[in-house]
Amino acid sequence: GEDVEQSLFLSVREGDSSVINCTYTDSSSTYLYWYKQEPGAGLQLLTYIFSNMDMKQDQRLTVLLNKKDKHLSLRIADTQTGDSAIYFCAESIGYSGAGSYQLTFGKGTKLSVIP
């Protein structure tokens, strides 16, 4: 079965780097995603990585994928107070034969940025 795990809390000082880790179990995942959720809001797509890539960088965000260990990480450089939110890791799993997919999410990591 599919399962995505993340640590629940992370606290960093403003200006430092944040690293949020995630492990997943389904080796057939095609895409892996990071979403951000602020209080009372929906999910904001931060970035995603295709399963045949090792790394993707997008401004302050760096995603690393270790497919052998099924480990995904999100690094946020120069973390700001506005980065305080819950971050969800998700894997996209195809539904065979139908061309469909579904996302399986971790429980989310609450990032607190200390000014």
Q: Which stretch binds other proteins (CB under 8 A): 14-22, 57-65, 72-80, 103-111?
A: 103-111
Do strands 55-58 and 109-114 pair parallel, antiparallel, or not at all (unpaired)?
A: unpaired
Among the listed residues 25, 80, 101, 112, the single contact to other proteins using CB under 8 A? 101
**Is 61 a binder of other proteins (CB under 8 A)?**
no
Please return the burial class of 110, using the count of CB atoms within 10 Å of its CB with bins 0-12, 13-18 and 19+. middle
- CB 107, min distance to other proteins, A: 5
**CA neighbor of 105 nearest in space, from 36, 9, 19:** 36
Q: How far apart are CA 85 and CA 81, in angstroms?
A: 9
Q: Which of 14, 21, 61, 94 lies at the binding interface for other proteins (CB under 8 A)? A: 94
Judged by the rule CB under 8 A, the positions of this chain that interact with other proteins are 30-31, 33, 35, 41-45, 48, 88, 90, 92, 94-95, 98-108
